Amino acid sequence: MTLRQELETEQVRHMDLQGYCLVESETSVRETLAHMRGAGGRTALITRDGELIGIFTERDVMRRVAGTPEMLDGPIDAVMTPRPITILPDTSAADALWLMDDHHFRNLPVIDRQGNILGDMTHAAIIQYLAARFPVEVLNRSARPDQYPSKPEGGD
């Protein structure tokens, strides 16, 4: 099976989709940033009554908040990107990857048919997938590239 076929049969729900935090609509931008920092600087998915209504990413922080501190005490709704493109949990990893690459998306929230938020598909998920898929080539490397032996018996 080629990697292409693998990614076409792999569903996004099997990937690591944990890089996000949930923030309720009308929360202040300042508080949203605190939530994001608590989650290690991850993307905020903005919800109203449990339903996804927007997304607020590092890019939005750069473009709409960092240079204009007066936005900080306004509601997150003013600076989020409303109605982001979402994918289903059984969307193939390949489709998600193409979508991200063709449209320059860095986040694709994963929503099931009932509207429940299951995760956020990112480039990191693809990187993690590839690393675990090819452990001999990717994971099993010396921490310093100059220390990596070139011969099978090592120690050169």
Partner 1 sequence: MTIDTIPLPQLTRQDFMSDQTVRWCPGCGDYAILATVQKVLPELGIPRENIVFISGIGCSSRFPYYMNTYGIHSIHGRAPTLATGLAIANPDLSIWVITGDGDGLSIGGNHLLHALRRNVNLNIILFNNRIYGLTKGQYSPTSRVGAKTKSSPMGTIEHPINPIGLALAAEASFVARSIDAHTQHLGEVLLQAANHVGSSFVEVYQNCVIFNPNEWVGLDDRRTRDDNILYLEHGKPMVFGKNHDRGIRLNGFTPEVVDLSDGVTETDLVIHDAESTELGYILSNMEYPTPMGVFRRMTDRPTYTDGLMGQIAEAQTKRGVGNLDELYRAADLWTVVPKEQDEPIESHISGRMADELDDEYVDRLAFGEEPAATTDLQERLAEETVEALAAHAPVEVDVHTSLAKAIRQMNTHNIGCVMVTDENDHLIGIFTERDVVMRVAGLADDLAAATVGQYMTPDPVAVRADLPIAHALHLMSLYGFRHLPLVDDDNRPTGIISFRDVVRHLHGVVKGTPAD
Nearer to partner 1, 49 or 156 (CB): 156
Strand partners, 81: 55
Mark the segment that binds partner 1 (CB under 8 A) among 45-53, 80-88, 112-120, 147-155. Answer: 147-155
The answer to the question of residue 110 lying near partner 1 (CB under 8 A) is no
Do residues 12 and 87 touch, judged by C-beta distance below 8 A? yes
The answer to the question of residue 116 lying near partner 1 (CB under 8 A) is no
Minimum distance of partner 1 from residue 49's CB (angstroms): 26
Report the half-sphere exposure of 107 (CA within 13 A, side-chain side).
23
The answer to the question of residue 152 lying near partner 1 (CB under 8 A) is yes
Binding-site size for partner 1 (CB under 8 A) equals: 64
Indicate which single residue of 85, 112, 115, 130 sits in contact with partner 1 (rule: CB under 8 A): 130
The answer to the question of residue 127 lying near partner 1 (CB under 8 A) is yes
| Helix (H/G/I), strand (E/B), else coil: 7 | helix
- What the block records as the tokens of 126 is 């693809």
CA distances in angstroms from 123 to 12, 31, 69, 100, 126, listed in the order given: 12, 26, 29, 8, 5
Which phi-psi region, left, alpha or beta, contains residue 51 (left: φ > 0; alpha: ψ -120 to 50)? beta
Nearer to partner 1, 49 or 151 (CB): 151
Report the half-sphere exposure of 48 (CA within 13 A, side-chain side).
9
Q: Which positions touch partner 1 (CB under 8 A)?
A: 2-8, 10, 14, 16, 29-30, 33-34, 36-37, 41, 58-59, 61-63, 65-67, 69, 72, 94, 97-98, 100-101, 106, 123-124, 126-145, 147-155
